[in-house]
């Protein structure tokens, strides 16, 4: 089963729909206040959780083979910010995935992500990348440099649709 985090967003929703159309088993990690009904109607399994609440992530990753996360704080505010979502939230998700024995973790980051960046969003993404690399999980990093669309969705879908390890892309990838 594949867990899509950020499934009610534009990119995450596109990925979830594509996977469901291909007949994949998809669990949708959705914040309690978000509407996942259109994806549930397509056959997605709904689980309410929040990246800021580490304990809520354990049931979400239970029995999951692949995690795909596109979640970010870019258009939110208040308690959803680069520190709580990009850094701590992704760290919580990575830790929960590693503890559950997830085989593959696909992380949509950002071009220029760097733990030392003066830009909080890029610093948070950089810290999450650093934590993911140290986690021991098989990973794919995607660092788009502009608004993503169908091509980004296809990259993530291909990484989950084939048995071969997904490619690592972006700065610093082998």
Confidence at 171, pLDDT banded by 50, 70, 90: very low
pTM: 0.80
For the ranges 92-96, 136-140, 161-165, which has the lowest average pLDDT? Answer: 161-165
For residue 107 the two structure tokens come to: 């992380």
Among residues 99, 88, 72, the alpha carbon closest in space to that of 128 is found at 88
- Say how far residue 38 (Cα) sits from the centre of its chain: 19
pLDDT tens per residue across span 60-71: 999 999 999 988
Task: Please tell me whether residue 79 adopts helix, strand or coil conformation.
Answer: coil
Query: What is the spatial distance between Cα 13 and Cα 34, in angstroms, rounded to a whole number?
Result: 12
Over residues 97-121, mean pLDDT: 91
Largest CA distance in the chain: 42
pLDDT at 36: 78
| Coil vs helix vs strand at 46 | strand
pLDDT digits (tens, 9 = 90+) for 110-136: 888 899 999 998 899 999 999 999 998
42 vs 146, residue with greater confidence:
42
CB atoms within 10 A of CB 55: 10
Token output for 10: 């534009």
* CA–CA separation, 154 and 36 (whole Å): 21
Amino acid 73: pLDDT: 83
How far is 92 from 127, CA to CA, in rounded Å? Answer: 12
């Amino acid at each position: 089963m594949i867990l899509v985090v950020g499934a009610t967003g534009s990119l995450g929703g596109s990925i979830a729909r594509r996977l469901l159309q291909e007949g994949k088993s998809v669990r949708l990690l959705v914040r309690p206040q978000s509407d996942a009904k259109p994806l549930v109607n397509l056959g997605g399994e709904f689980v309410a959780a929040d990246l800021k609440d580490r304990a809520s992530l354990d049931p979400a990753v239970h029995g999951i083979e692949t995690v795909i996360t596109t979640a970010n704080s870019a258009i939110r505010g208040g308690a959803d910010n680069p520190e709580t979502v990009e850094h701590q939230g992704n760290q919580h998700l990575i830790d929960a995935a590693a503890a559950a024995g997830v085989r593959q973790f696909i992380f949509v980051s950002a071009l220029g992500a760097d733990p030392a960046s003066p830009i909080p969003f890029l610093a948070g993404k950089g810290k999450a990348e650093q934590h993911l690399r140290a986690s021991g999980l098989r990973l794919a990093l995607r660092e788009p440099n502009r608004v993503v669309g169908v091509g980004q969705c296809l990259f993530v879908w291909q990484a989950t649709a084939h048995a071969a390890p997904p490619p690592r892309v972006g700065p610093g990838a082998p």
